[in-house]
Amino acid sequence: MDSARFTTTQRLSCQMMNPDLFKASDRTQTIQPPPKPNRSKSEPTKPEVVVDVEGKRCYYKGKILGKGGFARCYEMTDVASEKMYAVKVIPQSRVSKPHQREKIINEIELHKTLQHKHVVKFSHHFEDGENIYIFLELCSRKSLAHIWKARHTLTDPEVRYYLKQIISGLKYLHNKGILHRDLKLGNFFVSEGMELRLGDFGLAAKLETVEQRKKTICGTPNYLAPEVLNRQGHGTESDVWSLGCVIYTLLCGNPPFETLDLKETYKCIKEVKYTLPPTLSPSAQKLISAILQKNPADRLTLDQILTHEYFTKGYTPDKLPPSSCVMVPELNPPSPAKKFFAKMAKSLFGKKKSKVEKTPAEEKDDISKLVSGIVKCSISRQMSCKTVGPNEATPPMAPLASSGPTDTQAEEESRKSTSQSLKGTGASSNDPCEDALTPAAVIESAVKVLNDCLSSMPAASRNPPCLSKPKPFIWVTKWVDYSNKYGFGYQLSNQNIGVLFNEGTHLSLCDQRRTVHYCLANNKHFMFQADTLPEQLQSQKQIVELMANYMEQNLMEGGDLQYEDLPPPSASPLLLQWVKTDHALVMLFNNGTLQVNFYTDHTKIILCKSADDDSYLLTYINRERVSYTYPLSVLTDRGCSTELRHRMRYVVQLLQHHTGS
């Protein structure tokens, strides 16, 4: 958060509390997401600042995320750490009575004890004279209620995907003796990675015996169980009933007992009077019928739901693409190619042992199996997989400028042995270059030239004329993230396919797959004819071919940049490193090229050196995939649109943030 955006009073309040927050602008800057191209041009209002005097922290209040009877939920950002939260704000006026305050205290104390993958994380809380603030994990995809509103109905595979996660979180609560008592679409939150979290524990209560159960009617009318309406109290079966209503709502588009009159709704619930549409699959009809039973003892348990034929005989995806929040995703059971991928993973890596079980010797054994003696130097890049867009299939979180651990003497010997082994196969090879570009060097150059440009460019309302026929340069047209098993794959504009493997090696298929370019983690290069590739590299080549086929069949080109006279395959750049943020994917290449792909609108920025001299070119690909290339010097002299300037500034802030500069 730029300190200039605070009012004088807000700034002084924060500074007195923690003066270190405002000593350096780079420590108080928030990397802002790129703006939407057609946003309002009116001057933004200064954000409201919330101050935790006791904790000596400042937060600026962002957009409202939701509101209920007693509280509102806002997006808030810690000024110092830039961490974002979902914050439940409860006015003190709403908890003026002892029983009201006790209710909030109980919610806080209960939520504090919960630690589960599918439960919204509790961070901290504080209060001032006006409000109580409860800081929670921010789930950027909002909730199932928002997805349902956009989609109206979901497919069976999607419902299975979400239901498995709901049941996982709900079993955790029930095992701890906690009833949620308000299960509904709006209380199932969805993270950036499309993972579901149970939230809102305002009505949650400890499980009690039948005699001790509270007879209060609480919850959301459409999801209330008959025993709750009949004042028989809540048990775990009441949560299961609500879950059945959730399943029905997601598949049918409306709650099972919804009517125009609340009394009629309650009557239908007590009589279990609802209709199963014929459009539902037979297994879905059976599942809903087995859950929505009037007698709590007759309902399926959570474990029985998971073993029901609805799950056992139906396909459940491992991941859902973010696009499924607004449109029906293309979901199919694993294809033969994907099955081959899974089989290949098992043959290459075997079954994973836990970190506790593995000894250093076992670690070395596993690593040596990967590629005949090539030692693994960077395991931190293995991350989760998710589909993002038509020319990309998603991203991990890796440090931007890490060099990996230093080689031990044994590892160095192993590298030399591998190098000698490959030399004996008739490959052409190049020794590591002492002046080869590192990720840090690419970042340093990019930050310098972009900063120089941004600091000098005049204000402008539009972009200057672009180059009509820019000299050819190579960029990434498609990419796919399989780093949970193998590495990061990408297709270049010259049709070469490369994969940066998790252990640090790199293999490219060049010249229409006739040539193989192989690079060890120590930057030693080898070139082979595809038909003379050593046996020890065949497995990696197969993985690259599978990724290439996947991208060819499933992903679109990322822009309209097409050249007939591209540099020769031997001049093809290699990916040095890649990193994912909440808004973009960054790729750094050994020829100094930097490419940033923005997820939301699929715009891209490519910074590369001109083929004629050492000057820089900046290419912007807009959301329609139309490209515009400018000499950076022209942007410096003539300025550019707000849209492009904000993206350039975002790139600089992102690079500085991840390198600590």
The pLDDT tens digits of the residues spanning 61-97 come to 999 998 877 789 999 999 999 999 999 999 999 888 8
Q: Is residue 393 part of a domain?
A: yes
Domain annotation covers residue 630: yes
User: What is the reported pLDDT for 595?
Assistant: 96
In this structure, the answer to whether residues 304 and 376 fall within a common structural domain is no
Question: Angle of helix 282-291 relative to helix 236-252, nearest 10 degrees?
Answer: 150
pLDDT in tens, 425-467: 555 666 555 456 788 899 999 999 999 999 999 999 899 999 8
Per the structure block, which two tokens stand in for 163?
Answer: 């239901």
DSSP string, 527-556: EEEGGG--GGGHHHHHHHHHHHHHHHHH--
Neighbours of 319 (CB within 10 A): 19
Sequential DSSP letters for 240-292: HHHHHHHHHHHHHSS-TT--SSHHHHHHHHHTT-----TTS-HHHHHHHHHHS
CATH number of the CATH domain containing 416:
3.30.1120.30
The reply to whether 331 falls in a domain is no
Report the half-sphere exposure of 622 (CA within 13 A, side-chain side): 12
| Structural domain includes residue 333 | no
Predicted pLDDT at 596: 95
Tell me the residue range of the domain where 176 lies: 144-325
Judgement on whether residues 633 and 488 belong to the same structural domain of the protein: yes
- 185 pLDDT above the threshold of 80: yes
Backbone Cα Rg of the chain: 28
Higher-pLDDT residue of 415, 150:
150
The contacts of residue 287 (CB under 8 Å, 6+ apart) are 247, 300, 305, 308, 310
Contacts of 64 (CB under 8 A, 6+ apart): 72, 73, 74, 75
Asked if 475 and 388 sit in the same domain, the reply is yes
The pTM is what? 0.49
Do 132 and 148 reside in the same domain of the chain? Answer: no
Distance between CA atoms of residues 32 and 39, nearest Å: 15
Q: Is the model's pLDDT at 346 over the cut of 80?
A: no
Lowest mean pLDDT among 350-364, 453-467, 630-644: 350-364
Residues 64 and 189 in one domain: no
Quick one: 546 and 526 in the same domain? Answer: yes
Report yes or no: 105 and 125 within 8 Å, Cβ to Cβ: no
**pLDDT for residue 27 is more than 50:** no
Which among 41-45, 55-59, 520-524 has the top mean pLDDT? 55-59
Max alpha carbon distance in the chain (Å)?
A: 85
**DSSP state letter for 199:** -
Tens digit of pLDDT for each residue in 238-273?
Answer: 999 999 999 999 999 999 999 888 999 999 999 999
pLDDT of 220 reads 79
The answer to whether residue 334 sits within a structural domain is no
- Find how far residue 623's CA is from the centre of its chain: 20
pLDDT of 359 > 50? The answer is no
3-state secondary structure of 4: helix
Asked if 236 and 201 sit in the same domain, the reply is yes
Structural domains of the chain, count:
3
Choose the final residue of a domain: 325, 351, 380.
Answer: 325
Residue 68, CB-side half-sphere exposure with 13 Å CA sphere:
16
For 378-429, the pLDDT digits (tens) are 323 333 333 455 666 654 433 343 333 344 454 455 555 566 666 555 556 6
Asked whether residue 88 is marked as a ligand-binding residue, the answer is yes
The CATH code of the domain that includes 90 is: 3.30.200.20
C-alpha angle with apex 292: 289 to 297, nearest 5 degrees? Answer: 110
- Contact (Cβ atoms closer than 8 angstroms) between residue 631 and residue 611: no
Q: What share of the chain is helix, strand, coil (3-state, %, to 5)?
A: 35, 20, 45
What is the structure's pLDDT at 279? Answer: 87
Residue 616's pLDDT is 94
Q: In this structure, are 180 and 116 located in the same domain?
A: no
Same domain for 162 and 96:
no
Average the pLDDT over 345-365 and give the result: 44
Look up 182 and say whether it is catalytic: yes
Tell whether 256 and 312 lie within a shared domain. yes
Out of 52, 78, 156, 182, the active site residue is: 182
With pLDDT > 90 as the criterion, what percentage of the chain qualifies? 51
Q: Which residue type, as a one-letter code, is found at position 650?
A: Y
**Residue 538 tokens, joined:** 């065949």
Give the DSSP H/E element, type plus range, for residue 338. Answer: helix 336-349
Both 566 and 460 in one domain: the answer is: yes
Q: In angstroms, what CA-CA distances link 608 with 263, 264, 465, 630? A: 67, 67, 19, 11
CATH number at residue 215: 1.10.510.10
Cβ-contact 415, 522 below 8 angstroms: yes
Q: How far is CA 187 from CA 197, 254, 563, 610, 654, in A?
A: 8, 16, 51, 52, 33
Rounded CA separation 74/86 (Å): 6
Query: Where among 103, 136, 169 does a domain terminate?
Result: 136
Q: Is 154 exposed, middle or buried (0-12, 13-18, 19+ CB in 10 A)?
A: buried
Q: Report if residue 423 sits inside a domain.
A: yes
DSSP state, residue 300: P
In this structure, is residue 575 part of a structural domain?
A: yes
Cβ contact 418:427 at 8 Å: no
71 lies in the same domain as 152: no
Least confident range of 170-179, 225-234, 564-573: 564-573
Computed over every residue of the chain, the mean pLDDT equals: 80
Does residue 511 register a pLDDT over 60?
A: yes
Out of 281, 301, 325, a domain closes at 325
Residue 332 lies in a domain: no
Instruction: Encode pLDDT of 278-328 as tens digits.
Output: 889 999 999 999 999 999 999 999 999 999 999 998 899 999 999 899 888
Q: Quick check: helix, strand or coil at residue 309?
A: helix
